[in-house]
Structure 1
Amino acid sequence: MKKTAPIGIFDSGVGGTSIWKEIHQLLPNENTIYLADSANAPYGNRSEAEIVSLSIKNTEKLISLGCKIIVVACNTATTNAVDILRKNYEVPIIGIEPAIKPAALQTQSKSIGILATKGTLSSALFHKTSEAFTKDISVIEIVGEGLVPLIEKGALESQELKELLTNYTAPMLAANIDYLVLGCSHYPYLIPNLKKILPPTVTIIDSGEAVAKQTKKTLEKIELLSEENKQPSLQFYTNTEIDTLTFLLKAYSKNISIQQKEF
C-alpha cells in the first residue's frame, strides 16, 4: 500500500463531512474519498442487520477504490457494525462514538445530555460505554428524531429544525446539564442553532477532533502517513443529488470534486 493512497470515509449521508473537515484540517496533505450514503439515510431508524449490511457495502466500495484506512464517520454504523468490519477486513477501521467519557469526567453539575439517533442509543456498544463512565451521573438521552432528514436537505435555518431543537433540549435544561454530547456526525451542523438555545454554561462536544487524531495516530503506527506536500485529491461521492454536499462544503469548493454515483 502506498503512502499516497486515500483515506476512505463513509457516513449515512452528508453529516460525516463534519468529521472529514477535522481530518482534512489535521492532515491537509492526505488524499481522501468520502461516500455519502444519503439514499439510505438515516441509518438510525434501521435494524441492526440493515446497518451492518450498509456498512459492509460502503467499506467494500472504499476498499475497491484503494483506500489505506477507513473512517466510519457515522455513530450508528460504528456502534452497530465496527466490530464486524474489523473482523472481516485487514484495512484499519476507525470508528466514532459519542464523547460520553470527556463529558462524564468534566461535568460539574453531574448531569449531561446526549442527543443521538435511535440506532446509536439502543446499541450494545453505546450502553457499554455509557455504563463505564456515568455511574454517579444523571444522563438525559434524547433521540433526535427528524433532525438528520432536515440536515440532509440543507434546511439548517428552517423553523421546523429550530422547534425540534427547542423541544429536545428542554428536558436537558430542566435537568441542569452542563455538557451536551452530540452523538451523530450530522449534529455538529446544529451547533450554531444550539448555541442560541442553550445557556453559555452548557458546553457542546462532539467526536470529530478525537477521530482525526486517532486517524493520524493509526497512520503513523502503520507507517502510511502521506509525506507529499501538494494539493491532495479530495473526492466526494453521493448516491443522491449533490446540492447539500455542495452547500456544506462551499468553503472548499475550489479544491474538491463532488459527484453523484451509484454505490
Structure 2
Amino acid sequence: MDKMQPIGVLDSGVGGLSVLKCLHQMLPHEDFIYVGDTARTPYGTRSEQEIRGFVGEIIDWLTAKNVKQVVIACNTLTMLGVDSLRGTHPFRVVGMSKGAQQLLAASPHKKIGVLATQFTIASGLHKKAILAADPQAQVYPVACPKFVPLIEGEQFESPELRQAIAEYTEPFKKAGVEAVILSCT
C-alpha cells in the first residue's frame, strides 16, 4: 500500500467514530477519510437495494479520493455483505466482526443477546455466526430502532435513551442472557 494514500472509513452515521479512534491509535502515521452518512441515517430501517445504492455512491466517491483501503465501520453494512464489495474496487474492503467467539467466551451458559438495527436482526447473520461457532448456544436477537436517532442526536443521558435500553434489555433479563453484543450505534 502507498503510504501517501488515505484509508477510508465508512459508517451510516457517527457511531463509526469509535472505530476511527481505534484505527488512529493502531495506525498513528496513517491518514483517514471518514464518511458518516448522517443525511440518510438510519440505514437499519431501509431496504437492501436502497442501502446498496448509498454504499455504492460512497465507495465510488472514496475511489475518486484514491483510498488504499476502506473500513466498513457499520454493522448494518457489514451484515449486508462486505464480501459483495470486495474485488469491485482497486482497494481492500474490511468489515466489522460479528463477535461470536468473544460472546461465547464471555457467556458460561451460552446465552447471548444481540442488539442491532432491524435490518441486521432480520438478516439473522449474528445468530448464524454464533450458532456456527457453538450449536448449543441460545441467541436472543432484539431490534433497537430507537437507539440510532437518540445516539445520533447526542441524547446520551436522556430519559428516552434509558427507557429504550430498559425496553430492549427486558427480554435478556427474562432469558438470563449473560453476554450482549451491541451491533448498532
What residue identity is the alignment partner of 1:10?
L
| Larger relative contact order (Cα-Cα within 8 Å, sequence gap ≥ 6) | 1
Q: After superposition, give the CA deviation of every residue in 1:217-237 in whole Å (9 maximum; x if it has no partner).
A: xxxxxxxxxxxxxxxxxxxxx
Q: After superposition, give the CA deviation of every residue in 1:4-53 in whole Å (9 maximum; x if it has no partner).
A: 21110010011110111111111111101100101111111111111111
Deviation at 1:125, TM superposition (A): 4.2
Q: Bigger CA drift: 19-28 or 115-124?
A: 115-124
Where 2:49 maps in the other structure, the secondary structure is helix
The share of aligned pairs that are identical, in percent, is 38
Tell me if the contact between 2:12 and 2:41 (Cα under 8 Å) persists in the aligned partners: yes
Tell me if the contact between 2:14 and 2:38 (Cα under 8 Å) persists in the aligned partners: yes
Q: Which residue of 1 aligns with 2:175?
A: 175
Cα distance, 1:79–1:59 mapped onto 2, change above 3 Å: same
Q: Which residue of 2 aligns with 1:49?
A: 49
Q: Which residue of 1 aligns with 2:82?
A: 82
Cα distance, 1:141–1:95 mapped onto 2, change above 3 Å: same
Q: After superposition, give the CA deviation of every residue in 1:106-143 in whole Å (9 maximum; x if it has no partner).
A: 41122111111111122264454233124111111111
Q: Which residue of 1 aligns with 2:73?
A: 73
Aligned residues: 185
- Unaligned regions of 5+ residues in structure 1, if any? 187-263
- Unaligned regions of 5+ residues in structure 2, if any? none
Q: How does 1:157-196 map to 2 (within 5 A)?
A: 157-184=157-184, 186=185
1:24 and 2:27 matched: no
Cα distance, 1:78–1:147 mapped onto 2, change above 3 Å: same
What residue identity is the alignment partner of 1:141?
P
What residue identity is the alignment partner of 2:176?
N
Q: Which residue of 1 aligns with 2:2?
A: 2
Tell me if the contact between 2:127 and 2:139 (Cα under 8 Å) persists in the aligned partners: no
What residue identity is the alignment partner of 2:139?
V
What's the TM-score once normalised by structure 2's chain length?
0.93
Tell me if the contact between 2:114 and 2:126 (Cα under 8 Å) persists in the aligned partners: no
Where 1:35 maps in the other structure, the secondary structure is strand
Distance in 2 between residues matched to 1:37 and 1:7, nearest whole Å = 17
What residue identity is the alignment partner of 1:43?
Y
Q: Which residue of 2 aligns with 1:203?
A: none
Deviation at 1:66, TM superposition (A): 1.5
What residue identity is the alignment partner of 1:80?
L
Where 2:180 maps in the other structure, the secondary structure is strand
Tell me if the contact between 2:100 and 2:126 (Cα under 8 Å) persists in the aligned partners: no
Distance in 1 between residues matched to 2:181 and 2:98, nearest whole Å = 7
1:35 and 2:32 matched: no
The root-mean-square deviation of aligned C-alpha atoms, in Å, is: 1.6
Q: After superposition, give the CA deviation of every residue in 1:144-167 in whole Å (9 maximum; x if it has no partner).
A: 111001111111111101100011
What residue identity is the alignment partner of 2:111?
S
Q: Which residue of 1 aligns with 2:120?
A: 120
Q: How does 1:137-216 map to 2 (within 5 A)?
A: 137-184=137-184, 186=185
Where 2:8 maps in the other structure, the secondary structure is strand
Tell me if the contact between 1:98 and 1:182 (Cα under 8 Å) persists in the aligned partners: no
Tell me if the contact between 1:99 and 1:183 (Cα under 8 Å) persists in the aligned partners: no
Deviation at 1:77, TM superposition (A): 0.8
Tell me if the contact between 1:99 and 1:182 (Cα under 8 Å) persists in the aligned partners: no
What residue identity is the alignment partner of 2:28?
P
Tell me if the contact between 1:12 and 1:74 (Cα under 8 Å) persists in the aligned partners: yes
Cα distance, 1:134–1:120 mapped onto 2, change above 3 Å: farther
